[in-house]
Structure 1
Amino acid sequence: MTLQATVDLLDRLIAYPTVSTDSNLELIIDLSGRLQSLGARTHIFGDETGSKATLFGSLGPDVPGGVLLSGHSDVVPVTDQDWSSDPFQMRQADGLLYGRGTCDMKGFIAATVVMAEHYATLPLKRPVHFAFTYDEETGCLGAQALIPELNRLGIKPDIAIIGEPTEMRVIEGHKGCCEYTTRFEGLEGHGSSPDLGVNAAEYAVRYVTRLMALREDLRARVPEGSRFDPPYTTINIGGIRGGHAHNVIVGKAEVDWEFRPVQTRDLRFVKETMEAFIEQDLLPQMRAVYPQADISTETLGEVVGLEPMSENAARDLVAGLVGANGADVVPFGTEAGLFQQMGMDVVVCGPGSIAQAHKPDEFVSIDQLESCLGMLERLGQKLV
């Protein structure tokens, strides 16, 4: 009965086309009503546009601590993907449930909401919290906005379980992901007199060269015992653009780049190093020729990693619930690090495989949903 209810709810959730560029409000209002009907205390936190929101709900005693079950409601686009059926109409075949978001990560959300009906009947001694966020796929914006709201309300769960698709494996760590576009504004001129202009492309190249040197510095900062592959913080140059003619000094250029920190101190190290290079080296040289020259960096997303901890109550709890002997790390990012920074013990564990996420004919298996429901049911027994 619980499994069929989960499949039915997942079918309903898939029909909400909550692509990150679009609204998720209908889905959030639907889920809020379901939790409220069970007696949950709910909050809806909207974004600045009023078109997106995060739902936070709580069951059980209104006391500090408890367990947070968290998932993102947004999905990636289906544009230019070759699907075998309508991606926003769930299809069942051979024990698999197809549709955009089935594994990433509406399957977990459906399982938690259905299991909330069971939790509502239990004499809970610790609260169970639910967080369903927006815009995880575009920088974890909903979760970042949620943290200060929880601090304001004085809500701080002890443990957070992030239900990203891990095939129900226990994940205790992943790298962060920070994405930027750095823009250079110089002074155009004739290519025959390069000293009279400020070539934005040349300064962009110098910036990239410094990033590449910094990449080598990061290899020497690898944390002892790092289990990531590669074990150190990486930097990637995603694009360089500038110029439109061979004989014109380039007036504008930009660099797309990202880095994936294995530890929070590397995030600060990279940002502070590049900011100092701009302020102390590049800008003074540019403005000596053209005072209006400028360099600006747009932050597209800064998602902190989930750092493996020697003591982690979330890891130990979930490992016991799923019968795992240990925990792994993964290369993909989640919202987990944001909750860890808030002081929670955090683990990532959910139904489905990341190998199916973001692809056409995305699916989650019914077996995986069953395993997730089993974990959540056993969790309830730990909270009474």
Structure 2
Amino acid sequence: MTDAYSILDRLVAFPSVSRDGNIELIRYVQGLLASAGIKARLYPAASGDRASLFATVGPEGPGGVVLSGHTDVVPVDGQAWSSDPFCMIERDGRLYGRGTTDMKGFVACAIEAMLQVKSKPLQRPLHLALSYDEEIGCIGVRPMLADLAKVGLEPDWVLIGEPTSMQVASGHKGKLAARASCCGVAAHSALAPTGFNAIHLAADFLGELRSLQAELSGQGARDNDYDIPYTTVHAGVIQGGTALNIVPERCDLDFEIRNIASDDPKLFLDRLFEKADRLSNTARTRFATAGISIHVLNEYPGLATSSTDQTMSRVLNLAGSNHCIKVAFGTEGGLFSSALSVPAFVCGPGSMEQGHKADEFVETSQIEACRSMLGHVGDSLSS
């Protein structure tokens, strides 16, 4: 069966957690499209256990729309589900299962839309782009985008189907993730002053992160379309030490910067490099090997589609809405917009409040709203 609900049921059954890959799911989608005469190109990772997919219906050439979604999901480890997370069930108008909201619900609707428009006399193409490893840093979409930019793909706009309760979002913050590796000198804790404590050094650097955050929250640039209207700095993981009676010689601190469009995260990172150098120089007055090194782990740009873009009114009309919002979470939208030089919007069924937690669900009314919007998208490409 090729309706959105049957497709979603199959998609949820694939446990496509980022760490495990998505290749079986992608092969299912490839086969489903092939059965309708739609060719899909795969962009496999070197590991062979995951791939992105790109398919087109309609005439070749510029214009048209890209429907974009990721197929990986977050783990269910340690979560208290009331049912099998990889077996979709319906209760009281809600579809439960891992990924129903984030974001296999949209992916199912997008696949259904591709199958439906295959029989229509499209004047402009409809594209489907499915990626892997979005949940761990928008990794899988990048090789596909590089190839699409190389071959000159020129859509009119891109729709990223992340869950927004079917509201159209024109922006989200960018993200830069980095690790501060703090090196000390080991010693017996009974002789602690003869060593140099890497955890203490990490704590000093953490203080610099908090100072920067206080500055940004109090005096930084503002974008009041966001719930948190300023750039944020957040320390999420700190690991160091091996035993209480050993002065630790290593401590790693992972942090992130989520920036509004008017802020350049590289400038804040440069300031943090300077703070790390100052702390390192002080440490090296005692031990030449002590200090802090910072390495960027991952980054993706924010999305800031201009309110003056003529496409915006068209997208709002297709969604049956009259205004755009901005979302707190990141998406692949900024990567699409920068790689293809086209406006991108975020709009999909469900709410991120249901994502990443036990008993994740999407309401059937949201799926119906998405099916309706994508039907309008298909119709617009036929006129």
**Fold-level similarity (TM above 0.5):** yes
Aligned partner of 1:295 in structure 2 is 292
Tell me the amino acid that sits aligned with residue 325 of structure 1: N
Shift of 1:44: 0.7
Tell me the amino acid that sits aligned with residue 118 of structure 1: Q
Does residue 1:253 correspond to 2:235, yes or no? no
Q: In 2 relative to 1, CA 20–314 (structure 1 residues): closer, same or farther, beyond 3 Å?
A: farther
Tell me the amino acid that sits aligned with residue 313 of structure 2: D
Aligned partner of 1:36 in structure 2 is 34
CA distance, structure 2, for counterparts of residue 248 and residue 90 of structure 1: 50
CA contact (8 A) 1:315 1:346 kept: no
CA distance, structure 2, for counterparts of residue 95 and residue 242 of structure 1: 47
Q: In 2 relative to 1, CA 195–78 (structure 1 residues): closer, same or farther, beyond 3 Å?
A: closer
Shift of 1:22: 0.8
Aligned partner of 2:315 in structure 1 is 318
Aligned partner of 1:70 in structure 2 is 68
Q: Secondary structure of the residue that 1:21 maps to in structure 2?
A: helix
CA contact (8 A) 1:187 1:250 kept: yes
CA contact (8 A) 2:279 2:291 kept: no
For residue 126 of structure 2, the aligned residue among 122, 125, 128 is 128
Aligned partner of 2:144 in structure 1 is 146
Q: Secondary structure of the residue that 1:378 maps to in structure 2?
A: helix
Backbone CA RMSD of aligned residues: 2.5
Shift of 1:19: 0.9
CA contact (8 A) 2:281 2:291 kept: no
Shift of 1:298: 4.6
CA contact (8 A) 1:159 1:313 kept: no
Shift of 1:314: 4.7
Tell me the amino acid that sits aligned with residue 293 of structure 2: S
Deviations 1:297-356 (A, max 9, x none): 354432322225222345322210122110111222222121122222011111112221
CA distance, structure 2, for counterparts of residue 239 and residue 261 of structure 1: 19
Aligned partner of 1:274 in structure 2 is 272
Shift of 1:264: 6.6
Percent identity among equivalent residues?
A: 41
Q: Secondary structure of the residue that 1:227 maps to in structure 2?
A: coil
Aligned partner of 1:7 in structure 2 is 5
Shift of 1:274: 1.7
Does residue 1:307 correspond to 2:304, yes or no? yes
Q: Which runs of 5+ in 2 are unaligned?
A: none
CA distance, structure 1, for counterparts of residue 208 and residue 331 of structure 2: 29
CA distance, structure 2, for counterparts of residue 119 and residue 285 of structure 1: 65
CA contact (8 A) 2:231 2:263 kept: no
Aligned partner of 2:108 in structure 1 is 110
Q: In 2 relative to 1, CA 55–282 (structure 1 residues): closer, same or farther, beyond 3 Å?
A: same
Q: In 2 relative to 1, CA 240–122 (structure 1 residues): closer, same or farther, beyond 3 Å?
A: same
Q: In 2 relative to 1, CA 131–7 (structure 1 residues): closer, same or farther, beyond 3 Å?
A: same
For residue 200 of structure 1, the aligned residue among 198, 201, 204 is 198
For 1:158-237, list aligned pairs within 5 A: 158-189=156-187, 197-219=195-217, 220-223=219-222, 225-237=223-235
Q: Which stretch has the larger CA shift, 20-29 or 115-124?
A: 115-124
Aligned partner of 1:359 in structure 2 is 357
Q: Which stretch has the larger CA shift, 75-84 or 294-303?
A: 294-303
CA distance, structure 2, for counterparts of residue 296 and residue 173 of structure 1: 32
Aligned partner of 1:336 in structure 2 is 333
CA contact (8 A) 1:160 1:314 kept: no
CA distance, structure 2, for counterparts of residue 349 and residue 145 of structure 1: 24
Q: Secondary structure of the residue that 1:355 maps to in structure 2?
A: helix
Shift of 1:87: 1.3
Q: Secondary structure of the residue that 2:337 maps to in structure 1?
A: helix
Aligned partner of 1:383 in structure 2 is 381
CA distance, structure 2, for counterparts of residue 239 and residue 82 of structure 1: 24
Tell me the amino acid that sits aligned with residue 14 of structure 1: V
Shift of 1:246: 7.0
Q: Which runs of 5+ in 1 are unaligned?
A: none
CA distance, structure 2, for counterparts of residue 95 and residue 245 of structure 1: 52
CA contact (8 A) 1:314 1:346 kept: no
